[in-house]
Structure 1
Amino acid sequence: MAEARHRKWHVFQTKDELSVAMAKYTAHLSAKFCKEKGLFTVVLSGGGLIDWLCKLLEPPYKDSIEWSKWHVFWVDERVCAYEDPDSNYKLAMDGFLSKVGIPNKNIYAIDKHYAADGNAEHCAALYEECLRNLVKQNILPLCPNGKYPQFDLQLLGMGPDGHMASLFPGHPQINVKDKWVTHITDSPKLPPRRITFTLPVINSASYNLMAVCDDHTEQCPRSIADIFKHNNLALPASHLTAHVENMWYLDKAAASLL
């Protein structure tokens, strides 16, 4: 394991090794928080994350994790119908969530009707309202400063351009501090309408795990080098911190310029 400023990072030879490590990390924190407070709040993202999480569907994890105590959220979501192939909800349900025993009431998707209508602003407002209600129900605690919800673990990914969640370089959403959830209607990555946690919410998590695998692009290793060597704050992923631990898992290709 290496460290760069406030980041801890591991480099894995293959995506499969990264996936094995991610399963171990997630299962460990699930056991820790279920023991300490009786539940585990975990935030998912899109991209390749669900494929990498599939090791949790294998022994020893599938039958040992206390799935009924999981509460599942999304760090960002494409504003589209649940059945749309672009939906992060569909991706997670089809590839992972439908195969484990997480109660449906513990899976917090964006509003179905406004999503189908493409109303990003309303979807963001309703998702924030959902989070605030869960704070009132003692499902979600607030972070020490009392301003933002504190999730146990967020499982994140970074785009080749250095974006995370739906916080993109050169877009104003990275600067939003007065909301928990904001929206974007001109995402440079399709589809254009999305909701996303704001940066203060992302950075209030107890544990953040950023997983990056290079899909044979030149841009991704350059972005990783810009973040780790130069702390290039023009890249949203450079701003990632966490209350307890900010961990990066990189495959060999993504880390090739470090």
Structure 2
Amino acid sequence: MCKWRSTPKSVYKLLSKSDLRWDMVDVFLGDERCVDPNSELSNSLMLKNSLFTNFGSKAFFYEIFNDLNADDEATKNQFISKLFEKCGSNPPTFDLTLLGLGDDGHTASLFPYQKNNNIDDFVIFNEGKGLKRISLTPKVLSASSKIVFLVSGASKRIALERLLDEKEPPDRTPSKLIKSINQISIFCDQESAKEL
């Protein structure tokens, strides 16, 4: 499962050149903006132009908005159905979940002070940064066998500090909703980790 736009694009391009067993790889987005899949705002388009080039083109990719005429409930139900088909567990469990961290502390489309963030469901619709979005919930994101946050840039320093603060409330920093029985790894650059 993949998430984020700015930090990982170069990582995705590099990964796509690795001669892995891509035919054994299933990729789901952790969230997507409710836009046309060919829009520059689409996470799907970013993945198609980075991860799914070269060897990566052999992977299975579930494109959330492949039917622009479907209503929200149909889109959500199709997403959940495909998660169960590919993951086969309840909640659906990924081998690896890659997450980004927004400068406001959000991850996926779990934004500060959104009432839907911790709903007992698998997929939600949320508003964030002026756009309607669909997102996996903390219930699904936390069920992953391995969770990795990638954090880069000075603008993420405060958000990273809050993520690591045991007393930080998750309503202000929704990335704190991601819990795991396994270790969560955080890879960050010097700019984001400065003064930590």
Residue 111 (1) aligns with residue 65 (2):
yes
Quick one: which of 180, 185, 189 aligns to 2:122? Answer: 180
In the TM superposition, residue 152 of structure 1 has moved relative to its aligned partner by: 0.4
In the TM superposition, residue 98 of structure 1 has moved relative to its aligned partner by: 2.7
| Closer, same or farther: CA 118–171 of 1 in aligned 2, 3 Å | farther
Structure 1 residue ranges without an equivalent (≥5):
1-42
Residue 128 (1) aligns with residue 66 (2):
no
Specify the SS of the correspondent of 1:107. strand
In the TM superposition, residue 124 of structure 1 has moved relative to its aligned partner by: 2.3
Residue 240 (1) aligns with residue 178 (2):
yes
User: d(CA) in 2 for partners of 1:231 and 1:249?
Assistant: 21
| Closer, same or farther: CA 229–99 of 1 in aligned 2, 3 Å | same
Alignment size in residue pairs: 193
- The residue number in structure 1 matching 2:161 is 225
- The residue number in structure 2 matching 1:167 is 110
* One-letter amino acid of the structure 2 residue matched with residue 201 of structure 1: V
Matches within 5 A, 1:205-216: 205-214=144-153, 216=154
Identity fraction in percent: 23
In the TM superposition, residue 118 of structure 1 has moved relative to its aligned partner by: 8.5
Q: Where do 4+ consecutive residues of structure 1 move more than 4 Å?
A: 117-121
- Give deviations 1:148-181, integer Å, cap 9, x for gaps: 111000111010000000000100121211x211
In the TM superposition, residue 121 of structure 1 has moved relative to its aligned partner by: 4.4
User: d(CA) in 1 for partners of 2:38 and 2:51?
Assistant: 15
- Contact 2:160/2:193, CA 8 A, preserved across alignment: yes
* One-letter amino acid of the structure 2 residue matched with residue 164 of structure 1: T
In the TM superposition, residue 45 of structure 1 has moved relative to its aligned partner by: 1.1
User: d(CA) in 1 for partners of 2:150 and 2:2?
Assistant: 12
Between Structure 1 and Structure 2, the one with more helix by share is 1
TM-score scaled by structure 1?
Answer: 0.69
Structure 2 residue ranges without an equivalent (≥5):
none
Matches within 5 A, 1:142-157: 142=89, 147-157=90-100
In the TM superposition, residue 224 of structure 1 has moved relative to its aligned partner by: 1.3
Moved more, 149-158 or 91-100: 91-100
Residue 90 (1) aligns with residue 29 (2):
no
User: d(CA) in 2 for partners of 1:173 and 1:99?
Assistant: 38
